[in-house]
């Protein structure tokens, strides 16, 4: 499926940058949103250097009003909107009892509330185009990760939010896809104090996540698990979550 106008949040680096670059290579005009002006400029430059078109706005997804203005401006600059991809997120690692309330709440504001803010701001344009929205959840939204309590809570929230509003948006022809990848090899993880088993585990190349996500959206899938084995983890969590708890204790999660 060829996307013509797309907005990607968290596109100053990592998976957001990878999505923006891939969409531009496929011919989309891409709107970039992030809090890092320098990172956005680098992403935009990389797109333009390859003949693509990109517009950028510096905005914090947790600040609803300024974000709505930024997205409205981007929709106008792009000439429309048929795809929005929510990648903006922070990790907030550390054991929950040692984490300050402000730190915990910041993860929730950016990762969960920010996702809802982006979708709300983009929804009028998506209704007009009968387009699609993608929200990056995580394997942490399938079974919570000790040491990443705030992140797990936020991503469970993203998954539940998508399940709840998906049928509402479908009435207006808007597809909402939630994505559940394993750890992605991006700057988000660099220097992060994550559990040992996650440090040792395989990290997904960003281009693999991009490819499989866009393929899933093209097939109008409500959920995309990357790799497919994550679907088994989700099923196991529903049937026998104690087995996942045991696995975590046994192997250092």
Tell me the pLDDT tens digit for each residue of 102-113: 999 999 999 999
Residue predicted with more confidence, 185 or 55: 55
Domains of the chain: 5-251 (3.40.50.720)
For residue 161, pLDDT beyond 80? yes
Please list the alpha-helical segments (H only) found in the chain: 14-25, 37-49, 64-78, 101-107, 114-129, 149-170, 196-200, 206-218, 230-239, 241-251
User: pLDDT class for 250, splitting at 50, 70, 90?
Assistant: very low
Contact 210, 181 (CB under 8 A): no
Least confident of 151-165, 169-183, 186-200, 205-219: 186-200
Q: Which of 3, 151, 180, 225 is catalytic?
A: 151
Region 125-136: mean pLDDT is 98
pLDDT per residue as tens digits for the range 180-205: 987 766 565 555 555 554 555 567 78
247 carries an active-site annotation: no
- Average pLDDT score, the chain: 87
Q: Indicate the DSSP class of residue 83.
A: E
pTM of the model: 0.86
């Amino acid at each position: 499926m060829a996307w013509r106008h797309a907005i990607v949040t968290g596109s100053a680096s990592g998976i957001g940058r990878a999505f923006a670059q891939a969409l531009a290579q496929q011919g989309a005009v891409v709107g970039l949103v992030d809090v890092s002006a320098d990172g956005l400029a680098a992403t935009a430059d990389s797109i333009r250097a390859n003949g693509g078109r990109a517009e950028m706005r510096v905005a914090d997804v947790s600040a609803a009003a300024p974000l709505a203005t930024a997205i409205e401006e981007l929709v106008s600059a792009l000439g429309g909107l048929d795809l929005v991809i929510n990648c903006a997120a922070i990790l907030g690692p550390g054991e929950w009892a040692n984490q300050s309330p402000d730190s915990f709440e910041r993860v929730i504001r950016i990762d969960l509330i920010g996702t809802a803010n982006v979708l709300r701001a983009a929804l009028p344009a998506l209704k007009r185009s009968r387009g699609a929205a993608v929200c990056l959840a995580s394997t942490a939204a399938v079974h919570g990760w000790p040491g990443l309590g705030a992140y797990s809570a936020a991503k469970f929230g993203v998954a539940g939010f998508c399940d709840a509003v998906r049928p509402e948006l479908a009435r207006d022809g808007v597809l909402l896809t939630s994505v559940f990848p394993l750890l992605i090899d991006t700057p988000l993880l660099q220097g992060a104090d994550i559990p040992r088993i996650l440090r040792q585990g395989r990290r997904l190349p960003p281009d693999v996540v991009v490819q499989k996500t866009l393929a899933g959206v093209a097939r109008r899938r409500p959920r995309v698990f990357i790799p497919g084995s994550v679907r088994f983890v989700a099923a196991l969590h529903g049937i026998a979550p104690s087995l996942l708890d045991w696995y975590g204790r046994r192997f250092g999660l």
